Structure 1
Amino acid sequence: MPSDTAGYLQIGQVAERTELSLKTIRHYDEVGLVQPSARSAGGFRLYTEADIDRLLVIRRMKPLGFSLAEMKQLLDAVATLDDPAVGAEQRETANADLLDYRDRARENADRLARQLAYAREFTELLTARVSERQVPERR
């Protein structure tokens, strides 16, 4: 428990910054993806900027269809590359993992872009049909 909580953020502040719900952040803690760096005297979760960065990586991976296990593997690979004490073989494996995730992220993002294009086409089709019938637009 830190005696000085300066530099730490409480879970509500983290939720606001990451646009994740409190429930989601707590879940990620429970499954070991992002654990708070500290706890306050009252037992409240306290997070650092590095914790927020991890949460943002997870938030970016989620819409691309990555599982929690894959998110953990990617975060572990990033941590390995950030650790100067790690050997060359571990570093090479972590880098290969990141390249694989990058390629999969590109494929998934392309798929989502196609789906979004289809959704926009459909919306435009409906808008044109509504316009033909002189029906007032609702919001």
Structure 2
Amino acid sequence: MDTDLPGEPTRAHLQIGQVADRTELSIKTIRHYDEVGLVTPSARSAGGFRLYTEADVERLLVIRRMKPLGFTLHQMRELLEALAVLADSAGGHEQRERASAVVLEYHATATQSCEKLRRQLDYAEEFTELLIARRSAKARD
């Protein structure tokens, strides 16, 4: 619920259920990411409920995209920090250079992981086609 009442969510904040719907992550997973420090809610309601901003949702979407590629929580944290440095114009040149290198490194790793997943998907599709062909051949006998 979006309200502008004191102590209640504002239009700029989303409750955890709304964030779960937007990110297709479970509430339990979002809470876990808060507990391990990957995405901390930007605010809390008067009742103590987690409240998230669009920036928080974007961080969760980065994590959701990294997870199927096998990145660890440590790697997720490192990349999120690098992306935050690059988004912040106040960062120093050396800090921005390091962040850029981290992003390039993870891009290469993600590309390799995507290639591996494509091969696995090809094998899975070959297998399902084999099963259909065998089933069809058996039905003709």
Task: Provide the TM-score with structure 2 as the length reference.
Answer: 0.91
1:110 and 1:61 map into 2 onto residues whose CA distance is 14
Q: Is the 8 Å Cα contact of residues 5 and 40 (structure 1) preserved in structure 2?
A: no
Specify whether residues 132 and 79 from structure 1 end up closer, same or farther in structure 2 by C-alpha distance, changes over 3 A only: same
Q: 2:59 aligns with which of 42, 54, 57?
A: 54
Match of 2:22 in 1: 17
Give the whole-Å Cα distance in 1 for the aligned partners of 2:9 and 2:21.
22
CA RMSD in angstroms, aligned pairs only: 1.5
Which of 123, 126, 130 is 2:128 aligned to?
A: 123
Residues matched between the structures, number? 135
How many Å apart are 1:2 and its aligned residue?
5.1
Superposed CA deviations along residues 112-136 of structure 1, whole A, max 9, x for unmatched, are 000000000000000111111229x
1:39 and 1:64 mapped to 2: Cα distance? 32
Aligned to 1:83: 88
Instruction: Give the gaps of 5 or more residues in structure 2.
Output: 1-5
Q: Residue deviations 1:15-67, cap 9 Å, x none?
A: 01100001100000000000111111111111111111000000000000100
Identity of aligned residues (%): 65
- Rounded to whole Å, the distance in 2 between the matches of 1:30 and 1:131 is 52
Runs of 5+ unmatched residues, structure 1: none
AA partner of residue 24 (structure 1): T
Question: Are 2:109 and 1:104 aligned?
Answer: yes
Measured in 2, the distance between the counterparts of 1:102 and 1:85 equals 24
The structure, 1 or 2, with the larger RCO (C-alpha pairs under 8 Å, 6+ apart) is: 1
